[in-house]
Amino acid sequence: MDYTVPAHLFQKADRVLVVWSSQNQPTTEAMNVLQESVKHHVAELHMENLERILHDSSALNAHEGHYSLILCGWPVPLSSGTTSFELLSSLAPCLKPGGRLVGRENVSQCDNINKVIQLSGFVEFSQLGTDPMMFLARLPSEYALGTSAPLSWHKEAVDAAWDAVDAEVSNGDMINTDSLLKPTDLAKPTPCGQATTNVAGQPKKRACKNCTCGLAEEEAKADAEGKSVNSAAAKSSCGNCYLGDAFRCSTCPYRGLPPFKPGEQVKLPDSFLEADL
């Protein structure tokens, strides 16, 4: 049984915590060999019992953020399933940001350990050996509360994008939307109260419903002064004008007037333009 830890895992400034399990009953010789193989390569070495950590989660509170490396499974590899979320959650606060965790366990597959490692907040899981299975994981580099890191925003080539658009326009691929408009589309709408022109070119001026421009009042005033529609001089070419607007031509002088009897003189009453309500 190899009780030592590979020397390439250490750095001279490391503060190391070795977590050992009493269930594996390590001998005194094994513990001594382990300590001798570690203490000459690091700045500081502490030993802690695994069962004590699981029994009292506050056992390591005094060493929060103190260690840069934790060794789990020496001098004897841990039993299968010992590397649990509960254990790693107790060990993670003891590591510095970017601290390393190296463990050994008697298992053949590392899938379950990898899952527990990720759930406990560790990253960069890698398998270092088999029989027993040895693995390495790290805490994020800036895991401490309140730390910040700059974000490198990607700068898009905006000028190049607009150059591509201009190139398409110069090639004639884009349609000029102004060329799709007709003269009638560009004509301004006639405001309420202004005279319009029918098909025959005759001006026709009538107040809109709910008129607000004053034209309705002018028409009512004109009717009050006796300016009625002169229909006597009007001549009908079709003979259907008296039937109503449904039978009248677009140029009919009687358009807008109610139906009347043939030959009857048409006059608008004074109340014709008054509101019904």
Residue numbers in the known binding site for [2Fe-2S] cluster are 192, 208, 211, 213
The answer to whether the CB of 89 falls within 8 A of the CB of 36 is no
Binding-site positions: 192, 208, 211, 213, 238, 241, 249, 252
Binding-site positions for [4Fe-4S] cluster: 238, 241, 249, 252
DSSP collapsed to 3 states, the chain: CCCCCCHHHCCCCCEEEEEECHHHCCCHHHHHHHHHHHHCCCCEEEEEEHHHHHHCHHHHHHHCCCEEEEEECCCCCECCCCCCHHHHHHHHHHEEEEEEEEEEECCCCCHHHHHHHHHCCCEEEEEEECCCEEEEEECCCCCCCCCCCCCCCCCCCHHHHHHHHHHHHHCCCCCCHHHHCCHHHHCCCCCCCCCEECCCCCEECCCCCCCCCCHHHHHHHHHHCCCCCCCCCCCCCCCCHHHCHHHCCCCCCCCCCCCCCCCCCCCCCCCCCCCCC
Residue 122's Cβ-count burial label (10 Å; 0-12, 13-18, 19+) is: buried
